[in-house]
Amino acid sequence: MIESERVPAEMLAPTSPAGEIRELFYEFEGERKRALVYLPAAAKASPEKRFPTVYLCHGGGGSEDDFFGGAEGKSGLTHVLDNLINEGKLSPVLVVTPTYYHRGTENALVHAGAAMTLTETFYREFEAAVIPAVEAAFPAIPDRDHRVVGGFSMGAEATWSTLAYGGRAARYYLPMSGDFWAVAVKGGEDHTDETCCVLIEAMEKAGLEPGSFTVFAATGTHDIAYPAMRPMVEELLRRAPWFTPENLIWCVSDGWHAYDWCRDYIAQALPVFFPGKA
């Protein structure tokens, strides 16, 4: 286990050069959907270059606006990314915030079971629509070794499910404040052993092998997700060769269930996946 580090106040301040947020519209199963995309300053400076891509799924009841605070970037996450890149701690990356919600799924906004159906199948939309749309419109490196899937709360469930059922699409995973619900809601707490077995069996069935992925799992001791996430991660770390301290980094803060703590986890995890040249 490692301790989470708080983002210093100066990392939340604007810096130059700075990236920008753009909108992306794409189609999935006849529905027009929207995502936000952080484009690093290096994409303008070097139009011929391609970059790793980070996909972040919002929490339950949220939207594609949540991580960035809308297209205006009110959350400060863009400043954190700019500062990490400018200081050489992080390679320039694209950051995409899609949504797993669809028309006609309003019940899922307030009902965990209904939402689980969306998050556990998000990997299909990710592979069929999100990745192709992003890589057609932005300078993304088009291979799994340069893709991260992450998410907060219900988005963390989408992250674990993507690893389980669609893990060949991305190498890196960043579940924040959420466990895997394939067995039951909060299955990491109430059905720990079975949940871990289902995860590994699904990964193996999907064609993954030990050593072909890396997970950075993070939450806080005051987080409502901590009681479910902690036993699941600790049990996974007993399941070598599938999970070891080298490919499952367990990061714990003293934080709560909120996006500002996710900002800290993102700032700590992304340089592990794609370190800069500081």
Q: What is the dihedral of CA 270, 134, 35, 14, to 10 degrees?
A: 50
Residue 97 has pLDDT above 90, yes or no: yes
Residue 110 has pLDDT above 60, yes or no: no
How high is the pLDDT of residue 103? 74
CB atoms near residue 11 (< 10 Å): 20
> Strand 214-220's sheet: what is its strand order?
2-3, 248-253, 214-220, 172-176, 147-152, 53-57, 94-97, 31-39, 20-28
Residue 197 has pLDDT above 70, yes or no: yes
Residue 185 has pLDDT above 60, yes or no: yes
How high is the pLDDT of residue 105? 67
CB atoms near residue 174 (< 10 Å): 31
**Comparing 12-16, 31-35, 99-103, 259-263, which segment has the lowest mean pLDDT?**
99-103
Show the DSSP H helices in 75-169 as ranges.
Answer: 77-86, 112-120, 122-125, 131-137, 154-166
- 158-169 mean pLDDT: 96
Domain boundaries, the chain: 2-273
Paired residues of 172 in beta bridges: 148, 214
How high is the pLDDT of residue 241? 97
- The token pair that represents 18 in the structure block: 């700075």
Q: What angle (nearest 5°) sits at the alpha carbon of residue 172, between those of residues 126 and 226?
A: 95
Band (217; pLDDT cuts 50, 70, 90): very high
How high is the pLDDT of residue 118? 80
When the candidates are 3.40.50.1820, 3.40.50.11900, 3.40.640.10, 3.90.79.10, the CATH number that belongs to 2-273 is: 3.40.50.1820
How high is the pLDDT of residue 87? 97
Please tell me the number of Cα atoms within 13 Å of 244 on its side-chain side: 8
Question: Percent of the chain scored above 90 by pLDDT?
Answer: 89
Radius of gyration of the chain (CA): 17
How high is the pLDDT of residue 277? 86
**Average pLDDT over the chain, rounded to an integer:** 94
The answer to whether 152 touches 176, Cβ cutoff 8 Å, is yes
